[in-house]
């Protein structure tokens, strides 16, 4: 099985799940044999579902009995991505995800209505996606895989898994598991979601003053005269990677993605006692999380022990895994990736390539929006009102070029000649 990547078929790891009560033990009846780790994972996902459903629309009552079906899509493809290319330790991944989810406070930060959850240690994000996005990811999975393979330092969202849960009355919830770009051990002092478009791309500075967690946009960046402070070396690397990634996005015909930039000022440190953007927005305070981690509850629970045992039995190569404790601090799994090697991010440098006071947390997110008819319509309507080239929904080719030239222009000393001009 492992030798052959099965791009589309999901059924290999399908489980039929009966769920009696939120906190009670979930009862599984497997229709197919599937791996132990997926079993544990599906069980936890199902446990979190009442939260999810309630937050979406109060559809279920806690006393009802539910039947869920859990699907794992292209399991071997994602497994290879996780383990061979994203260098995730399977035990870390599983333990992190099988701990109880933290329900986001705001639920849904974007306009799309997607919900975001974090794994216990904040390393992973679970994002609910639309069926169209789900289908789209499957349709480009082969290309995505090839891109990741030939671009180990890609800035694109790292997709670790694609799943679906089906509820009793036929309701389906699709979600992806991906990397959280922001660290759990460093405050992110400023957050920007940059698209390279200027029309409407602003967050009220008034509101931003009151809410340091706000996600700011292109015009805030320009008006604040921000730059990505990177010396020639990192600048060249970053701009080359953004170029390749946006070329890829062009070929799969997507748009509407952004470069998410989290800024940490080393001098300011973590004194703010507020968590980085997404964390601050969605989660309870981190001390609670830290406490949980220090207890190593997961590591000692019967479940974790069983996982450990099952993994040892099923795969001798994993024996080398030194610990099953969740990391307290930065875990180091990103160290081999140039853009995530400094405390999980990219340390700013000056013209002499010497480190300065800032760490950036960067990545290209929200990459599952094809230039569909919907966008074409939006393009048409918005295009009537504003300059067609500056609005967000332009065709993928133009979107990518604009995106890349904006990012190049905001790197200090880049070929773009410095500041991006606000029009
Ligand atoms: P919309 O389509 O309206 O833009 P969406 O629901 O698709 O919204 P995203 O654009 O993916 O949501 O993300 C919304 C916000 O969530 C981002 O601006 C960012 O603050 C946060 N976020 C998303 N993905 C990540 C990630 N991988 N790491 C950290 N934060 C993230
Ligand atoms: Ca977005
Ligand atoms: Ca989106």
Residue of minimum CA distance from atom 23 in ligand 1 = 365
> Parallel, antiparallel, or unpaired: how do β-strands 190-194 and 172-179 relate?
unpaired
Q: Identify the architecture of domain 190-276+333-409 in CATH.
A: 2-Layer Sandwich (3.30)
pLDDT of residue 381: 62
As a whole number of angstroms, the distance between CA 405 and CA 400 comes to 9
pLDDT of residue 379: 60
Query: Is the CB of 184 within 6 Å of ligand 1?
Result: no
Per-residue pLDDT of 75-96, as tens digits, reads: 788 888 999 999 998 888 877 7
pLDDT confidence of 28, banded at 50, 70, 90?
very low
pLDDT of residue 16: 46
ipTM for the predicted complex: 0.99
Q: Identify the architecture of domain 11-179 in CATH.
A: 2-Layer Sandwich (3.30)
Q: Which residue pairs, CB below 8 angstroms and at least 24 apart, start in 145-153?
A: 145/5, 145/77, 145/80, 145/81, 147/245, 147/248, 148/81, 148/85, 148/86, 149/85, 151/241, 151/244, 151/245, 151/248, 152/85, 152/337, 153/237, 153/241, 153/337, 153/338, 153/339
Query: Is the CB of 347 within 6 Å of ligand 1?
Result: no
Q: Starting from the CA of residue 110, give the closest ligand.
A: 1
161-165, 173-177, 269-273, 275-279: which has the minimum mean pLDDT? 275-279
Instruction: Give percent of the chain above pLDDT 70.
Output: 57
Residue 46: HSE in the Cβ half-sphere, 13 Å Cα cutoff: 28
Instruction: Give percent of the chain above pLDDT 90.
Output: 40
- The residue behind tokens 């082969």 is 142
Sign of CA dihedral 89, 324, 359, 290: positive
Domain residue limits, the chain: 11-179, 190-276+333-409
Is the separation of the CB atoms in 137 and 162 below 8 Å? yes
- The mean per-residue pLDDT over the stretch 183-192 comes to 92
- The residue behind tokens 């898994």 is 161
Q: Does position 107 have pLDDT exceeding 70, yes or no?
A: no
14-28, 184-198, 358-372: which has the minimum mean pLDDT? 14-28
Mutating to test ligand 1, I would choose from 56, 104, 107, 110 the residue with most ligand atoms within 8 A of its C-beta, which is 110
């Amino acid at each position: 099985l492992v030798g052959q990547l099965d791009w589309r078929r999901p059924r290999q790891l399908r489980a039929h799940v009966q769920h009696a009560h939120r906190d009670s033990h979930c009862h599984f009846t497997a229709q197919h044999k599937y791996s132990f780790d997926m079993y544990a994972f599906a069980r936890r996902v199902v446990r979190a579902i009442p939260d999810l459903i309630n937050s979406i629309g109060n559809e279920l009552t806690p006393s009802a009995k539910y039947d869920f079906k859990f699907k794992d899509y292209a399991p071997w493809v994602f497994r290879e991505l996780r383990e061979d290319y994203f260098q995730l330790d399977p035990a870390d991944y599983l333990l992190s995800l099988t701990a109880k989810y933290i329900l986001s406070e705001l639920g849904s930060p974007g306009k799309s209505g997607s919900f975001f959850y974090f794994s216990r240690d904040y390393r992973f994000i679970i994002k609910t996606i639309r069926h169209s996005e789900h289908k789209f990811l499957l349709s480009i999975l082969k290309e995505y895989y090839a891109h990741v393979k030939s671009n180990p330092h890609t800035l694109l969202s790292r997709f670790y898994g694609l799943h679906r849960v089906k509820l009793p009355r036929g309701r389906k919830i699709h979600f992806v598991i991906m990397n959280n770009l922001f660290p759990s051990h460093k405050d992110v002092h400023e957050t920007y979601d940059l698209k390279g478009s200027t029309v409407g791309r602003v967050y009220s500075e008034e509101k931003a003053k009151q809410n340091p967690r706000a996600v700011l946009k292109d015009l805030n960046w320009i008006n604040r005269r921000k730059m990505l402070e990177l010396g020639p070396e990192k600048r060249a690397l970053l701009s080359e990677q953004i170029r390749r990634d946006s070329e890829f996005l062009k070929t799969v015909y997507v748009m509407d993605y952004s470069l998410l930039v989290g800024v940490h000022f080393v001098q300011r440190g973590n004194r703010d006692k507020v968590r980085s953007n997404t964390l601050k927005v969605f989660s309870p305070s981190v001390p609670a999380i830290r406490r949980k981690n220090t207890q190593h509850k997961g590591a000692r629970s019967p479940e974790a022990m069983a996982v450990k045992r099952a993994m040892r039995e099923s795969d001798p190569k994993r024996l080398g895994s030194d610990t099953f404790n969740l990391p307290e601090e930065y875990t180091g799994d990103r160290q081999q990736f140039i853009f995530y090697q400094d405390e999980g991010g990219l340390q700013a440098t000056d013209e002499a390539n010497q480190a300065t006071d800032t760490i950036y947390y960067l990545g290209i997110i929200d990459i599952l929006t094809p230039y569909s008819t919907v966008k074409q319509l939006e393009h048409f309507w918005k295009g009537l009102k504003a300059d067609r080239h500056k609005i967000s929904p332009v065709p993928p080719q133009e979107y990518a070029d604009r995106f890349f030239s904006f990012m190049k222009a905001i790197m200090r000393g880049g070929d773009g000649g410095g500041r991006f001009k606000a029009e």
